[in-house]
Structure 1
Amino acid sequence: MDYNSLGLKIGLEIHQQLASGTKLFCSCPVPRSTDERPDEFFAEVRRKMRPVAGETGNVDIAVLYEFLRNRTFAYRSGQKTSCLIELDEQPPKPVSKKALETALQICKLLNCTVLDEIHFMRKAVIDGSAVSGFQRTAFLGMNGYIDTAQGRTGIKSISLEEDSAAPCDSGYKLDRLGIPLVEIATDSGIKSPEHAKEVAEEIGLLLRSVDVVRGIGSIRQDVNVSIEKGARIEIKGFQELEKMPEVIGDEIQRQIALAEIKSELMARGARHFGPGTRTVTHLFHDTKCSFIRKAVENGGMVVAGKLPLFAGLLKKQCGDRTLGKDLSDHAIGYGIIHSDEDLDRYGLREEFDVLRRELNAGERDAVFIISGDKPADAAKLVSERASQCLAGVPEETRVADGSGSRYTRPLPGSGRMYPESDIPPIKISREYLCSIKLPKTLSQVRSELSKKMPEELASQIVRSRYLKEFQELSQEYEPVLVAAIFLSYFRDMSRRGLDVERVSIHDVEKMLSRIKEGSVPKDAAPGILEKLASGDNLVKVLSSYSTLSDAEIKSIVKETVAQNPGLNESAAMGIIMQKLRGRASGGKVMQFVKEEMMSSAK
C-alpha cells in the first residue's frame, strides 16, 4: 500500500507508570511491579460527575458525552494504597521529587527541550476513572526525537500526570489512582504501521532504563491515525505491540471505506438528515423474533429509524466490521437490526416490510430497529452517526478490539483543560536540570551484550524482567548460561505449571558457582532448577547432581553397551543419559560411548 499517496499520519501516545516509591501528590506507596499483591479494600464511596467548562469557556464534547450517560460511580479505597487525597477530600501535597526527576530524565533521554517553569493543569475526566472529575497533568518537555532503524521520529511533548483509577467488578479501585505517569506524544511523522510498532518498542526499551513500574498495565500505548480523506482517530488499549500494525492497518482500511461511502452517498444525491426516529412497538406484538417479543412482553419498546439512500451500504466492510456493526457500537448498551442484514435469520422479514411503509422508506433507503427498556436515545445516536457519513470520517476515540477497533466516545479536545489552583508553579533551573544524571540506556546495554552473546539473545535479555539479576550474575558466570536460565529454563518450567518463584536468585548463584568449579555439570542445570521449583532442598539437590568421575561414567557406559548389544550410538546415549540424570556432560558421555562401541566391535 502506498501510504504517501493516502496522506497517512500516525502518532503515538505512550503512558508509563513511574516507580517513584510514592504517588504523585501523597505518600501512599507505589508498587515496583503490577504483579505485587493488591491492597485490602475497606471502604466504598459513590460519586456522580458533572461537566465544567474548560479554560476556553467551552464544555468539551467528550465530557458532555459522558455526562449524558447519567452514571453513578462506586470507588473502593484501600488502607495502604489510598488516602483522602485520592478521595478528593484533601488538597494535594507537593509533587513527588523522585517522580519529577525520573520524568526529567526521560525528557533528557528523548532529547527534549525542558520548560523552565512547570504548571499543573486539570483535565476534565468524568468517565469515572477520577474521583475528582479531573486529572492533574503538567507539560514538561517538547521538540525531542528518537532514532529508529526506519528513521528519526519527533517527540512532540512529554507530560507528568497522575494515573487513573482502575475499573473493577463493582466500579473503580483507588490503588492505581495517583500513581505518577509520564505521557510521551510523538509527532505524526511515523511512516507505516510497522514503523509505529518499532517506535513504540524503542521508546519502551528506553523507559526501562529508568525507574518505572513493571508488569501488565504499567505501560499503555494509544495510536492516532488519519489519512488525507479521513480524520484523526485515537485508538486506545494496546497491551500487545505485536497487534499494533494489524490494528492500524485495519483503521486505514476503515477510513478508506468511509470515504468511499461518503462519495457513494453524494453520488446518490444524499443530503443531511435529522434523527427521524419513531416508536414502533405496536408492529412487534406478535413477532416471531423471540428476543424482541420478550422485550415487548416485559414492557420494553421498539424504536426504528430511516437512513435515506443508505440501502446496501450498511453491509459494506469498514475494516474488520461492517458499517452496520460500527453504527451499532454507538447504541450504548443496545444493538441494532437493519435492513441490509439477513432478516429471515431473525424472523423479521414481514415486520420490516410493514416498517418500511410506516417510515415511508423507499427501496434505496435503509431502516433499522433497536429494542429494549429505553432505546430512544440509542436510536437517536445511531441516526446521528449515520448522518455523519455524509461528512466522511468523524473524529472519535476507539479501543483496540481483536484485529480492529470499536467506538467508545467522541474525540476529546482542548475544552477540557483548566488551571490547577492547588499546586504552585515549579521552577526548573539550569543547575537543577544539569544535576539530573542519565543512566545507561538498555540500547547501550544491548549493544555491549551483543559482544558476549548472540544479538537475538541480547535483545531478549534486555527486555526480560530478570535483566537486573542477569547483570549481577553474568559478571561472575558464563553470560549465555545465565541468560538461558532466565529466558529458557524458567519459561519452560512456568509452562509446565512449576512455581519458578520458589527458585531464589541465591539458589541460582549457588548452582552456577558449583558449575563453574566443575562439581556439577552444566547439563544438570534444567534438572536442578526443576527440583528447586518443586520445593526440594538446595543442598540435597546439588549433592544428587554432583559430577561423576570419568571412571564412574566409563563404567556405566561399558555396562549399558554390554547389556544392550546392537544398539546404535543415539539409542545408547538416551539410556545412559537417563541413568546419569545430568551428572555428566553430554559431550563427554558421547566420547566414551564411541570409544566403547569401537572397542566392543573389535
Structure 2
Amino acid sequence: MTDGDFDYEDLGLVAGLEIHQQLDTATKLFCACPTTRREPEEHDRAFTRYLHPTKSELGEIDEAALEESQVEREFEYLAFDTTCLVEEDDEPPHRLDEEALDVALEVAALMDMTPLDQAHVMRKVVIDGSNTSGFQRSSLVAQGGEIETSEGAVGIEDMMLEEESAARVEESDAGATFALDRLGIPLVEIGTQPDIRSPEQAREAAERIGMLLRSTGQVKRGLGTIRQDVNVSIADGARVEMKGVQSLDDIDDLVRFEVQRQVRLLEIADELAERDASVGEVQDVTDVFAETDSSVVRGALDADGLVFAVPLYGFDGLVGEELQPDRRLGTELSDHAKRHGAGGIFHTDELPAYGVTEDEVAALREAVGAGEDDAVAMVAAEADVARGATEAAADRARTAMEGVPEETRGANEDGTTEYLRPLPGAARMYPETDVPPVEPDPSEVEVPELLTEKVERYTEAFDLNEDVAEQVAYGRRWRLFEDAVERGVDPNLAARTVESTVTSLRRDGVPVENLADEHFHGVFDLVAEDEITQEGVPELLTALAEEPDRTAAEAAEEAGLGSADEDVVRDAVVEVVERNEEQIEAEGMGAFSGLMGEAMGALRGKAEGDLVSEVLREEIQKRS
C-alpha cells in the first residue's frame, strides 16, 4: 500500500496539535530581563552545569528524563549583560509576569476557552540542557474551547503559559552549548483535542490557531518563535509525539509519513510473528574485525574501542525495510544507539559495505550464531559506549516485534522524523513552590479583531485589493499602516510603503531593521503635508535606515527630497527631452516610456509621477 492509497478513516487516524508561541512582552515570564534576542558572540561570560533527574512527589522518576540521564553530558551556558540570577538559577523566580498573563487571556477569549479561577505554576523535568534549572516552569491558565476547520470542529483541550527554553548554539558528543537570551521568554502552549482526522485538517487547524495568535498583535514573529508538535496514532498503532515542527508547510507531510511509518511497522511486526522472530544476546565480536580495512571500524579499534553485535533471529531483509523516505527499520535501531553515544550501527541487510567485506559478514554471522534467515546489528565505538549502544538497538528490535512503540520523535526538514525519547509521564510534573498562584481576571480582557476581519475591513474601508489587504493585516506593520491613514496618507501608498517598499529595500541590502516606528511616522507626516512626494519615500527610508539617528525631516532636507513645483519639473523634463531629440523625431510618443524613467531619475523623487508624465507628454508632442 502506498501513501496515496491510505484511507485515513479506515486506518483510524487520530491526531492532535500542540502549538508553542512566544509572546512579545517587555520582560520575561519570571524576571525583569528583556525578551530581545541576542547574537551568541555578544555573550560576556559562560558557565557549565551537569543536570540530573529528580523524583516526583510520589518518588517516581520520569522515564524520558531517566533515559536522558544515562549519558552524562556537560552543558555550557552563554550569559549576556542582560542575564540575571534567575536565568542562571542562582535566585528564585519572581512572580508570574502580568503582561504575559493578559495576552494569554486574550488568546483564551479568541478560542472560547474558560480561564481557571486560580493558576498554579508547576515544574516540568527537562534535563536535555535547555534549562539551567533542570526543569521548565509552566502554568495551566485556561481549558475548553474550539476552532472551526473545513472538515469540522477541533476542540481545544488546554492552554499553558510557560517559559521558553534556552537556544541551542552548538552540540558535541560531550554535551551542548546554549544561549540564555531566549530562556524565560513567555510562551503559550495550546493543546487540541485528538479530533483531527486527516493530514490536511492538521495543517488547517494549525493555520487557524496561528491566525488567532497573531490577531493579538502581541506574539513574536520570525523563525523559531512558533513551533508545532503533532500527536499521531492509528487504530492498531500507538500515540507518537512529533516535536519541533518549524513550518506549517511540513505538518501534512509529517502526518502522512508517520501514518506510513506506523503501517509499515505493523506489517513488519506481523511478518516477524510469522517467522517466530526473536532477539539474541549482545556479544563482543571485536576479534572478527581484528584485520578489518573498514575505516569506521578500524577507527574505533585504533582508539581502543570495541565491536559488539546482536543476532536478530528471523529479521533478515526486514531491518532494511523502508518506513519513511530514506529511513528504514535499521535507521530506527541506529537512532537508539546514537542516544547512547554511538555514531550509528551496521546491519547485515546493508553489508557488505562501508569497507566491511563479505568474509567478515560471514564470520560475524558465525560468531553470533546467526543463520541466513537472520540479521545482525553491530556497533563499533569506544569501549564504554559500544555495549550500551548495541543493547539499545537490541531493545528497539524487540519492540519491533510488538508493533509501534509510544515515543517522542523529532521532526526533520524533509517531513520524516527521528527518535528522541520515550513519551513523558505524570512523574515529569511537580509543584513550583517559589512562585505563588495567580487568579486570572478575564473581565478586563478586550477581544482583539481577528486578522481575517482586519483584511475584510481594509478592503471595504480603504479600497485595498484583497491580496494587499491580507499582506498588510498579516504583516508586522499594520499599526503603522493605520497610523499613516489617520495622518491623511493614501491607503494604497501606506500599504505599499510598509510592505512591498520595505521588502524591496531589504532585498537591495538596505538595513531596514534600523527603521523604527518614529521613522515611518516622520516619513508619512512629510507625505501628508506634501513636503515630499510618494516617489521620494524609498530614497528617504533608505537614508533613514543608513543613518537612523536623524529625523525624517533632516534626512529629506539633506537628500534634497522636497516637493518640486511645476516650473522645476518642466525645466528637468525639457533638459531630458532636448538630450533625446533624435529619438523623439524617430519614435514620437513611442519614446515616452524610456524618457519617463530618465525624467523621474533626474528629479530624484522630488515630483509626483502624474505631474512628470503630464509635462513630458506635452514636451514630446511639441517636438513630434
TM-score by length of 2: 0.86
Q: Does 1:395 align with 2:400?
A: no
Give yes or no for contact 2:294–2:354 (8 Å, CA) kept in 1.
Answer: no
Further displaced range: 258-267 or 416-425: 416-425
* Counterpart amino acid of residue 398 in structure 1: R
Q: Give yes or no for contact 1:560–1:576 (8 Å, CA) kept in 2.
A: no
CA distance in 1, matches of 2:560, 2:225: 38
Between the aligned partners of 2:79 and 2:514, the Cα distance in structure 1 is 32
- 1:348/1:572 CA distance change after superposition, 3 Å: farther
Segment of structure 1 superposing worse, 500-509 or 585-594: 585-594
- Indicate how the Cα distance of structure 1 residues 15 and 570 shifts in structure 2: closer, same or farther if over 3 A, else same: farther
Equivalent residue of 2:561, what SS? helix
The answer as to 2:502 corresponding to 1:486 is no
- Give the count of matched residue pairs: 592
* Residues 1:185 and 2:205 are matched in the alignment: no
Is 1:328 the counterpart of 2:347? The answer is no
- Pairwise CA RMSD: 2.9
For 2:527 and 2:436, the matched residues in 1 are separated by 59
C-alpha deviation, 1:114, in angstroms:
1.8
- Matches for 1:284-299 after TM superposition, within 5 Å: 284-299=289-304
Q: Distance in 1 between matches of 2:474 and 2:45?
A: 38
| Correspondence 1:32-111 to 2 at 5 A | 34=37, 41-83=43-85, 85-111=86-112
CA contact (8 A) 1:18 1:211 kept: yes
Equivalent residue number for residue 381 of structure 2: 372
Q: Is 1:538 aligned to residue 549 of structure 2?
A: no
* Alpha-carbon distance in structure 1 between the residues aligned to 2:218 and 2:50: 36
SS in 2 for 1:22: coil
Deviation by residue 1:490-524 (Cα, 9 ceiling, x = unmatched): 21222222212344544444544555566654345
Per the alignment, residue 465 of structure 2 pairs with 454
Counterpart position of 1:220: 227
The amino acid of 2:79's aligned partner reads S
**Amino acid across the alignment from 2:230:** V
- 1:136–1:161: 8 Å Cα contact kept in structure 2? yes
Match of 1:241 in 2: 248
Give the alignment partner of residue 11 of structure 2, picking from 1, 6, 26.
6
Residue 150 of structure 1, CA deviation: 4.3
Q: 1-side partners of 2:574 and 2:538: how far apart?
A: 25
Partner of 2:449: 440
Q: Deviations over 1:219-245 (max 9, x none)?
A: 222111122222111111122222222
**What amino acid is the match of 1:300?**
G
Q: 1:96 to 1:500 in 2, by over 3 A?
A: closer
Q: 2: distance between equivalents of 1:44 and 1:199?
A: 41
When structure 1 is superposed on structure 2, of 374-383 and 537-546 the one drifting more is 537-546
1:129 partner amino acid = S
Q: Supply the distance in 1 between the matched residues of 2:378 and 2:534 (Cα, whole angstroms).
A: 69
Name 1:555's counterpart in structure 2: 574
Q: Which amino acid aligns with 1:352?
A: V
User: Residue by residue, what CA displacement relative to the aligned partner does 1:293-316 show, whole Å, maximum 9, x if unpaired?
Assistant: 122122111111222211112222
- Gap change, CA 1:175 and 1:586, over 3 Å in 2: closer
Task: Using the TM superposition, name which of 161-170 and 359-368 deviates more.
Answer: 161-170
Q: Distance in 2 between matches of 1:74 and 1:514?
A: 51
Match of 1:411 in 2: 423
**CA distance 1:450–1:38, change in 2 (3 Å):** farther
Give the deviation of 1:184 after TM superposition.
0.7
Deviates more, 1:582-591 or 1:89-98: 582-591
Query: CA, structure 1 residues 284+544, in 2 after alignment: closer, same or farther (shift >3 Å)?
Result: farther
Match of 1:360? Answer: 369
Q: Which of the residues 187, 202, 218 maps onto 1:211?
A: 218
1:586 Cα offset (Å): 5.5
* Distance in 2, Cα, partners of 1:511 & 1:43: 41
**Counterpart check, 1:312 vs 2:317:** yes
CA distance in 2 between counterparts of 1:377 and 1:459 reads: 54
- Per-residue deviation, 1:595: 6.6
C-alpha distance 104-520 of structure 1, shift in aligned 2 (>3 A):
closer
Residues 1:349 and 2:369 are matched in the alignment: no
How far off its partner does 1:287 sit? 1.2
Offset, 1:350: 1.9
Q: Distance in 2 between matches of 1:350 and 1:201?
A: 55
Q: Contact (CA 8 Å) 1:53, 1:59: kept in 2 or not?
A: yes
Q: Which runs of 5+ in 2 are unaligned?
A: 1-5, 171-175, 548-553
Equivalent residues of 1:306, 1:359 under 8 A apart: yes
| CA distance in 2: counterparts of 1:524 and 1:355, whole angstroms | 76
Provide the C-alpha distance between the structure 1 equivalents of 2:27 and 2:515, rounded to a whole number of angstroms: 29
CA deviation string 1:518-551 (max 9, x = no partner): 6654345445544554559432335377465564
Cα-to-partner distance string for 1:100-134 (whole Å, 9 max, x where unaligned)? 23222222222112222222222222222222222
What amino acid is the match of 2:410? V
C-alpha distance in 1 between matches for 2:93 and 2:617: 75
Q: 1:147 corresponds to which residue?
A: 148
Percent same amino acid among aligned pairs?
Answer: 37
Q: Which residue of structure 2 aligns with residue 580 of structure 1?
A: 600
Deviation at 1:156, TM superposition (A): 0.4
Equivalence for 1:339:
348
CA distance 1:532–1:94, change in 2 (3 Å): closer
Instruction: Give the secondary structure class of the aligned counterpart of 1:121.
Output: strand
Correspondent of 2:203 among 197, 204, 211: 197
Structure 2 CA distance for aligned equivalents of residues 592 and 193 of structure 1 = 59
Contact 1:17–1:180 (CA<8 Å) still a contact in 2? yes
**Contact map agreement 1:577 1:586 (CA 8 A) in 2:** no
Cα distance in structure 2, aligned partners of 1:569 and 1:365: 84
Counterpart Cα distance in 2 of 1:507 and 1:126: 45
Cα 1:23–1:513, aligned 2, differ >3 Å: closer, same or farther? closer
C-alpha spacing 1:541/1:502, structure 2 compared with 1 (3 Å): farther
Contact 1:511 1:542 in 2 (8 A): no
Change (3 A) 1:569 1:283: farther
Q: C-alpha separation between the residues in 2 aligned to 1:421 and 1:505?
A: 41
Offset, 1:385: 0.7
Letter in 2 for 1:484: R
**Gaps spanning 5+ residues in structure 1: where?**
none
In structure 1, the residue corresponding to 2:144 is in which secondary structure?
Answer: strand
Q: For each residue in 1:207-228, what CA deviation from the matched residue of structure 2 results, as whole angstroms up to 9, or x when unmatched?
A: 2315333443332221111222
Maintained 8 Å contact 1:206/1:443: no
Shift, 1:379, TM fit: 1.0
Residues 526 and 390 of structure 1, relative CA distance in 2, 3 Å threshold: same
